[in-house]
Each structure stands twice: as structure tokens, then as C-alpha cells.
């Protein structure tokens, strides 16, 4: 069936919906992205226009479709060992803690799981079979399911050091040629869960290190502050926070001390 072009009013309504659900404000330039990603859902539901789709996802009982809309509109661009300097520093930190209890690391907004799996490979190098865990969270259930599967195009691992690729990933054959599968010995240490960073966060045990990289760029300053306040409740005093190299906490939070570009130490919760 033919889907009507998205109108200005419909685009603005979808932007408001997405911001309410995720905190992310879609730019005017995302109009084609919104139309392209949601058009398939309109056809599947036999809806003629985006206004009808908005009415549909607003109805009680259609929460799964609402989540699907959020999943489709969420930007997911990631790969293994992204921003190598961060992982080189993490490896140094982990090595220094080799004789101690393994730190708990939370990869917030982990998308399809490449980041927490990269972290887990470095943890395995240092802590081996000792007890340790990496948490991975995202707002998108679709991305989390992809992460739990652990199957990726080999192109996503182009930055991953060869020794880690060979040691912790299985090369696909036949129908899976050109893919890799993260080994179960890594997957068993990574726990995925859905979390909306706009909401107050709580972990059973506070994290020693949090990765929140290439997330804040999608939010306004007020929302950035809210997110940082939410995740800082889950970080131990003196814990480390990694953000993206194009991001900064300047003017966002005074609870952190800058150590390096995109790397901060948590002073502790304000009294």
C-alpha cells in the first residue's frame, strides 16, 4: 500500500513523541530518516498516514508498537574498540587492579553490544576465570537482542586488535561467512538490560567505571545534566566516567574532575 508523505505537523508530533520517550530531540534534517524508518510499520499495520500511526501508538495496549517506534528511530552507530585511546587507558587501569577484586563496569547506551564486549575482552585478559561482570544497557530492545546474540559483520571488528579477535571471536562459515560470533566465554560475563537514562537509575552494586560515550551529543544541556545526575547515582566515589571525544561535562556537572579528554573521575554525590 502507498503511505502518504509525512507532513510538517506529523513530523513535529513524532519529534515530540520521541523526545518524551527518549529525551532525544530530532533535528529538522532527520525528516527523511523518520519517514523512511517508520513507513514499513505503517504498511504492516495498514495505516494510510503518520497521523493514524501516532494515534495507534498512543492507545493503551499498544506499548510494544510504541517501543518498536523508539527502536526504529534510535541512531545506532558503533563498532568494536571504538576510540582506541579509551581502551588503552582502560587496559592500564585494569592491569593495575589485577591483584584486587575485579571492577564492575557499566556500558550505558551500549547499542548492539560491541562496546561491552570489547570491555569484556579486556577484562578477560586481566582477570581470566575470576568472577567479574560487565553491564550493558540501552533504550532499544532491538539492539539489546542483537547484543545478546553476539553475531556481527566482520567489518565491525576492523579496529579490534587481532589477538583479541582471534582469542574471543569465532569466524563464521557458510551462511555466516563475513560474520563473527562472540565466544560464550565472553558472553557469559556480559549482562544486558533495558534502561532509559532519562529515568533515575539504580544498580544492585555501584559501578567502578561507566562508559557513556557518544550519547550526550544528542541532548540539550538540561537533559544532559539530568542524565549525568541519574547515572552518577550508580557510580562509586572516585569512579571513572568515559564520554565521547566530541563531548564534555563543562557546564553540565560539577561532580566530576577531568583527567584526560573525555575521561572524568567522580568526586562523589553532593550532600
What DSSP character marks residue 236?
E
Residue ranges making up the domain that contains 55: 8-73
Asked, for residue 48, whether it belongs to a domain, the answer is yes
Q: Please determine, for residue 47, whether its predicted confidence score (pLDDT) is greater than 50.
A: yes
CB-based contacts of 218, cutoff 8 Å, min separation 6: 24, 25, 75
From the candidates 4, 31, 37, 142, give the one annotated as an active-site residue: 37
Domain match, 236 and 191 both: yes
Judge whether 249 and 235 are in contact, CB under 8 Å: no
Q: What is the pLDDT of residues 159-196, one digit of tens each?
A: 999 999 999 999 998 989 999 999 999 999 999 999 99
Nearest to 76 by CA among 25, 170, 141: 141
Domain of residue 54, CATH code: 1.10.155.10
Domain match, 195 and 257 both: yes
Whether 15 is catalytic is no
From the candidates 15, 71, 138, 213, give the one annotated as an active-site residue: 138
Whether 37 is catalytic is yes
What is the chain's mean pLDDT, rounded?
Answer: 92
Judge whether 189 and 204 are in contact, CB under 8 Å: no
pLDDT tier, 255 (very low <50, low <70, confident <90, very high otherwise):
very high
Domain match, 69 and 137 both: no
Asked, for residue 194, whether it belongs to a domain, the answer is yes
In angstroms, the CA 75 to CA 160 distance is: 22
Domain match, 103 and 225 both: yes
Q: What is the pLDDT of residues 203-217, one digit of tens each?
A: 989 999 999 999 998
Question: Residue 105: in which H helix or E strand, if any?
Answer: strand 105-107
pLDDT over 90 percentage in the chain: 69
Judge whether 180 and 79 are in contact, CB under 8 Å: no
pLDDT of the residue at 254: 92
Largest CA distance in the chain: 63
In angstroms, the CA 77 to CA 135 distance is: 19
User: Can you point out the beta strands (E) in the chain?
Assistant: 105-107, 134-138, 151-153, 169-171, 179-182, 190-194, 207-212, 235-243, 256-260, 263-266
Helices (H) and strands (E) in the chain, counts: 10, 10
pLDDT of the residue at 75: 67
In angstroms, the CA 169 to CA 91 distance is: 19
pLDDT of the residue at 271: 45
Q: For 140-153, what is the mean pLDDT?
A: 94
Amino acid at each position: 500500500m502507498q503511505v502518504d508523505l509525512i507532513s510538517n505537523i506529523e513530523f513535529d508530533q513524532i519529534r515530540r513523541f520521541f523526545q518524551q520517550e527518549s529525551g532525544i530531540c530530532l533535528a529538522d534534517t532527520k525528516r527523511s530518516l523518520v519517514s523512511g524508518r517508520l513507513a514499513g510499520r505503517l504498511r504492516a499495520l495498514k495505516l494510510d498516514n503518520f497521523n493514524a500511526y501516532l494515534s495507534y501508538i498512543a492507545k493503551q495496549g499498544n506499548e510494544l508498537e510504541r517501543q518498536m517506534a523508539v527502536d526504529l528511530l534510535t541512531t545506532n552507530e558503533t563498532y568494536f574498540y571504538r576510540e582506541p585511546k579509551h581502551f588503552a587507558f582502560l587496559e592500564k587501569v585494569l592491569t593495575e587492579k589485577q591483584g584486587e577484586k575485579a571492577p564492575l563496569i557499566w556500558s550505558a547506551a551500549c547499542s548492539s553490544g560491541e562496546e561491552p564486549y570489547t570491555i569484556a575482552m579486556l577484562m578477560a585478559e586481566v582477570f581470566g576465570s575470576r568472577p567479574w561482570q560487565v553491564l550493558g544497557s540501552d533504550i532499544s530492545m532491538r539492539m539489546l537482542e542483537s547484543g545478546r546474540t553476539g553475531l556481527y559483520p566482520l567489518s565491525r571488528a576492523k579496529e579490534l586488535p587481532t589477538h583479541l579477535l582471534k582469542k574471543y571471536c569465532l569466524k563464521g562459515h557458510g551462511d555466516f561467512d563475513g560474520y563473527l560470533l562472540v565466544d560464550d566465554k565472553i558472553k557469559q560475563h556480559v549482562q544486558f538490560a533495558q534502561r532509559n537514562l532519562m529515568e533515575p537509575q539504580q544498580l544492585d552494586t555501584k559501578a567502578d567505571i561507566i562508559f557513556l560515550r557518544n550519547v550526550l551529543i544528542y541532548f540539550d544541556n538540561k537533559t544532559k545534566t539530568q542524565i549525568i545526575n541519574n547515572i552518577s547515582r550508580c557510580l562509586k566515589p572516585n569512579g571513572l566516567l568515559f564520554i565521547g571525544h566530541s563531548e564534555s561535562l563543562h557546564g553540565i556537572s560539577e561532580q566530576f574532575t577531568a583527567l584526560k579528554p573525555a575521561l572524568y573521575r567522580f568526586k562523589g554525590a553532593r550532600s
